[in-house]
Amino acid sequence: MKAIVAVDLNWGIGCGGRLLQTIPEDMKFFKENTLKKVVVMGRETFESLPGKSPLKDRINIVLSRDESFNDDKIIIYRSLDEVFDNIKKYNTDDIYIIGGESIYNQFLSYCTEVYVTKIKNIYTADKHFPNLDENKAWKVASISDSREFNHIQYNFLKYVNKQLIHYTR
């Protein structure tokens, strides 16, 4: 299982139900990584998607305790246990946790990798991702060259969970 997220320098991920910054290359990176895969998100993240519609060409799983929340275009589970019981049928490398804050917090320790677009700016944020740079369980495995969009610099980083690393030889 993997997570994918865009963060600012304070590990902020959103404010008022919106992303902090939209960067076309980050959107493309997200799409390339999650296309034809399973994406797991919370209800608020789902409702923030354009048109409150599932992400195209992906299996959309939403974790929500809200019993009144229903949508026949997605798979809804009401508990973490229910998610884990049902995602066993998928290849764990094909499962991406995509937010928001509480979903990341609940699933992060089960992830082997996290793809982070680190935006070199600070925004007003009311939702955050755990700071992997301060977490001894995680290490940077790769970092892209610095990139820029509309005078905003960013990098793509891949973090690996040192406690869950699976080596293949």
Is residue 109 in some structural domain? Answer: yes
- Cα 151 from Cα 158, distance rounded (Å): 23
Is residue 168 in some structural domain? Answer: no
Is residue 162 in some structural domain? Answer: no
Determine the longest span between alpha carbons in the chain, in angstroms.
48
User: Residue 56 belongs to a domain with what CATH number?
Assistant: 3.40.430.10
Is residue 119 in some structural domain? Answer: yes
Is residue 163 in some structural domain? Answer: no
Measure CA 80 to chain center: 16
Q: Can you tell me whether residue 113 is helix, strand or coil? A: strand
pLDDT exceeds 70 at position 166 = no
Is residue 120 in some structural domain? Answer: yes
Q: CA torsion 119→125→126→130, rounded to 10°? A: 30
pLDDT tens digits, one per residue of 73-124: 999 999 999 999 999 999 999 999 999 999 999 999 999 999 999 999 999 9
**Other C-beta atoms within 10 Å of 55: how many?**
19
Is residue 25 in some structural domain? Answer: yes
**Other C-beta atoms within 10 Å of 81: how many?**
9
Is residue 167 in some structural domain? Answer: no
pTM score:
0.95
Report the number of distinct structural domains present in the chain.
1
* Domain span including residue 106: 2-157
pLDDT tens digits, one per residue of 31-49: 999 999 999 999 999 999 9
